[in-house]
Amino acid sequence: MITIRILGLDPGLALMGWGVIDMTGTRLTHVAHGVIATRAAEGLGVRLMCLHRELEGVIAELRPVAIAVEQAFVHKDPSAALKLGHARAVALLAAAQAGLEIAEYTPNHIKKCIVGSGHAGKEQVQAMVRRLLPQSRVDQADAADALAAAIAHAHLSSTRARIAAALA
């Protein structure tokens, strides 16, 4: 059976959560997770460069073939939405440079896949990620959200593959 390695990302300028899982058939295995942090005291360019460099390192070390990125949730604060957009752009750039298959999902879609409710709270997402990947022992909300994006992509991509096989 083929194993597919998926990197999930929860983009943010201050904190970018990442999580990597392996999917073999329908079995999911935790590989690694973490959070890339930048300091607000640094300029925007330096912070984006830090995110890019760290993300390149994760991709080079763990060698995923696909990436699932959480789409931006537009807040009422345009400045925060713009900063989030910059972080997402860095994530998409790093993934494209590495030649990864890129998938984007709304936060509600990821929550629905993981918890069953599109309006689930962060605590519920974290609890379900711990249940689905007990070996992860994830305790950072941003890393749990990233793992949730990877899990959602694994579920959705395997469903698409089964449908394509049935239609063939």
Second-level CATH architecture of 3-167: 2-Layer Sandwich (3.30)
For the chain, the straight-line distance linking the first and the last C-alpha, in angstroms and rounded, comes to 20
Annotation marks residue 139 as catalytic: no
**For the segment 98-132, what is each residue's pLDDT rounded down to a tens digit?**
999 999 999 999 999 898 776 778 888 889 999 99
**Long-range own/partner contacts, residues 155-160 (CB < 8 A, 24 or more apart):** 155/113, 156/103, 156/105, 156/113, 157/4, 157/23, 157/66, 157/103, 158/23, 158/26
Among candidate residues 70, 101, 104, 145, the one labeled active-site is 70
Annotation marks residue 42 as catalytic: no
Tell me, what's the pLDDT at 123?
A: 85
Among candidate residues 42, 123, 139, 142, the one labeled active-site is 142
For the chain, the structural domain boundaries read 3-167
Among candidate residues 10, 22, 42, 101, the one labeled active-site is 10
pLDDT tens, residue order, the chain (168 aa) = 889 999 999 999 999 999 999 999 889 999 999 999 999 999 999 999 999 999 999 999 999 999 999 987 666 778 888 888 999 999 999 999 999 999 999 999 999 989 877 677 888 888 999 999 999 999 899 999 999 999 999 988 766 665 555 666
